[in-house]
Structure 1
Amino acid sequence: MADFHLLSQGPRPVAPFSHAVESDGWVILTGQMPTDPDAPDAPLPDGIEAQTRRVMNNLEIVLNGVGLDLSHVLQCRAYLTEFERDYAAFNEAYQTYFPPDRRPARTTIGVTALAVGALVEIDCIARRPA
């Protein structure tokens, strides 16, 4: 049995999906975009650092909405449209969200395009404490 979470306070979905799906303590978060939940039609933040921070903040909003936080995240996947140009700056912003001794497993993938013209999208898998 799974719980499908579509959060009223979460970022507005850019496609038909749930913010998170939960089963047996596993919580899978849909990839988040660098949109502002309070102004979803506003222009995206400028640059990879600002977009990465907005995406991470959106992941936090979704996690908080299901009673979790970034400390529960075990794995992330990041998608970058300008991989070679943005990878180092992306890492600088991303790493500030996790303590050095508690970083989730991660895969970063270069892609040709993302929804809403974003430079970055990140999804993750979290686990509820037993």
Structure 2
Amino acid sequence: MTAPRFLMIDQAPTPVAPFSHAVETDGWLFVTGQMPTWPDDDAAPLPQGIAAQTQRVMDNLILVLEGSGYALADVVQVRAYLTDFQRDYAVMNETYRRYFPEGRLPARTCIGVTGLARDALVEIDLIARRAHDPSVQMGQGG
């Protein structure tokens, strides 16, 4: 087991609390929940509406993934948090779905919450795993 690497990504938005953007260990990347904040101006107002906020969150996740040497294709699990589940679930799904190719959707949980930092409508975190290198042979079970 390798020691975890605690990653801060220069291109990603400044965290709203004391945490790393991501932690990597043994080919796994655990990405902290991203908010719909702007990477170049943390004080700017959040985008209006769930579609725009979901897009901003997904774009921020891509910044963290790419800054960590991963891609959306490496994502295996996602958790989404919505402050108004009934109102925003369908539109969030429509926007989120555009980021993943057909047949390559990560496992996902979506949770309704009472509030998020900066009064955001959505926050999303994820787990990624480096693609398996087929040139490396795995041992057979015994």
Q: TM-score, length-normalised on structure 2? A: 0.90
1:57 aligned partner: 59
1:87 aligns with 2:89: yes
1:118 aligns with 2:81: no
1:105 aligned partner: 107
2:46 aligned partner: 44
Shift of 1:100: 1.9
| Segments ≥4 residues shifted beyond 3 Å | none
Structure 2: 5+ residue stretches without partners = 133-142
Give the share of equivalent positions with the same residue, in percent.
63
Corresponding residue SS for 1:29: strand
Structure 1: 5+ residue stretches without partners = none
1:29 aligned partner: 31
Provide the C-alpha distance between the structure 2 equivalents of 1:5 and 1:83, rounded to a whole number of angstroms.
31
1:19 aligned partner: 21
The one of 59, 72, 82 equivalent to 1:70 is 72
Give the aligned CA root-mean-square deviation in angstroms.
0.6
Shift of 1:82: 0.3
Provide the C-alpha distance between the structure 2 equivalents of 1:50 and 1:98, rounded to a whole number of angstroms.
17
Shift of 1:129: 2.3
Shift of 1:86: 0.4
Which of structures 1 and 2 has the larger relative contact order (alpha carbons within 8 angstroms, sep 6+)?
1
Shift of 1:7: 1.4
Shift of 1:105: 0.4
Corresponding residue SS for 2:103: coil
Corresponding residue SS for 1:7: coil
Corresponding residue SS for 2:98: helix
Provide the C-alpha distance between the structure 2 equivalents of 1:3 and 1:71, rounded to a whole number of angstroms.
21
Provide the C-alpha distance between the structure 2 equivalents of 1:114 and 1:100, rounded to a whole number of angstroms.
30
Q: Rg larger in 1 or in 2?
A: 2
Moved more, 5-14 or 56-65: 5-14
